[in-house]
A and B are shown apart, each in its own frame.
Chain A
Amino acid sequence: QSALTQPRSVSGSPGQSVTISCTGTSSDVGGFNYVSWYQQHPGQAPKLMIYDVSERPSGVPDRFSASKSGNTASLTISGLQAEDEADYYCCSYAGSYIWIFGGGTRLTVL
């Protein structure tokens, strides 16, 4: 399996919204409603932000939302804040107890 495709970088100004895409195939993103998203600040471990395509764990701000259409999942961050600057990774179940991550997207808050 190849890594899911994410844009290398996105940027936005404080208060704006940005969307990060995550494109896979019908064997992973398109085949299961099991996409999760992780935030990773420099030097830190990843943190779960979204699971099962669009569900937010407790403690994650509702500025973070996500969806899926076909083979592409998307993470939207609205009302950008400085602390949102980080790397974001999507992850999808790919069947047979295999998971696959996206290549990661660097979010810059201008």
Chain B
Amino acid sequence: EVQLVQSGAEVKKPGESLRISCKGSGYSLTNYWISWVRQMPGKGLEWMGRIDLSDSYTNYSPSFQGHVTISADKSFSTAYLQWSSLKASDTAMYYCARRVAGSNWFDPWGQGTLVTVSS
């Protein structure tokens, strides 16, 4: 079974750094991308960016470019989303989702990681 398992909930203070993870299992890494999607409390889904796990090539939504960094470790079948300096407005649920090469949809999705940023 193809699965994406995300790291657990985080509570951080403004200005702190954070990296959350998304580990894939049940499929080969080649020809798959991982996207990250933000869902702020009570709000809709926002596509943040993606990474190709085979070569770590990334691209970002203009709304998130420069605010987050997406990376990956192919040897661990894991993608990461990181912040160098969190803000209260980063409080949200973050989902990872798989995109098969050549497709334009996301399936499956991880269970989500809740990030809370509060002083």
Measured between beta carbons, the chain B residues less than 8 angstroms from A51 are: 103-105, 107
Structural contact, B107 and A48, CB atoms closer than 8 A: yes
Measured between beta carbons, the chain B residues less than 8 angstroms from A46 are: 37, 45, 95, 97, 106, 109
Measured between beta carbons, the chain B residues less than 8 angstroms from A102 are: 44
A13-21, A69-77, A90-98 - the one binding chain B: A90-98
Interface size of A by CB at 8 A reads 27
Measured between beta carbons, the chain B residues less than 8 angstroms from A34 are: 104-105
Structural contact, A52 and B105, CB atoms closer than 8 A: yes
Tell me if B35 is interfacial: C-beta within 8 Å of chain A.
yes
Interface size of B by CB at 8 A reads 23
Tell me if B50 is interfacial: C-beta within 8 Å of chain A.
yes
Interface string of A80-105 (1 = CB under 8 A from B): 00000001010101001111111110
Q: Which of B35-90 contact A (CB under 8 A)?
A: 35, 37, 43-47, 50, 59, 61-62
Given contacts A47-B109, A51-B104, A52-B105, contact A97 B50 (CB under 8 A): yes
Residue of B at shortest CB range from A43? B112
- Measured in the bound complex, the distance between the Cα atoms of B7 and A73 in whole Å is 34
Tell me if A45 is interfacial: C-beta within 8 Å of chain B.
yes
Measured between beta carbons, the chain B residues less than 8 angstroms from A100 are: 47, 61
Q: Please indicate which of the listed interface residues B50, B97, B104 has the most CB atoms of chain A within 10 Å of its own CB.
A: B104
- Measured in the bound complex, the distance between the Cα atoms of B104 and A104 in whole Å is 19
Q: Which of A38, A47, A48, A93 contacts B45 (CB 8 A)?
A: A38
Measured between beta carbons, the chain A residues less than 8 angstroms from B103 are: 51
Structural contact, B59 and A48, CB atoms closer than 8 A: no
A87 to chain B, nearest CB (A): 8
Q: Which of A1, A48, A98, A103 contacts B105 (CB 8 A)?
A: A48
6 sample A-B contacts, Cβ–Cβ < 8 Å, listed by A number: A1-B61, A38-B45, A51-B107, A99-B104, A101-B45, A102-B44
Chain B residues near A (Cβ < 8 Å): 35, 37, 43-47, 50, 59, 61-62, 95, 97, 103-112
Across the A-B interface, the 7 shortest Cβ-Cβ residue pairs: A34-B104, A51-B105, A104-B44, A36-B105, A48-B107, A45-B109, A101-B45
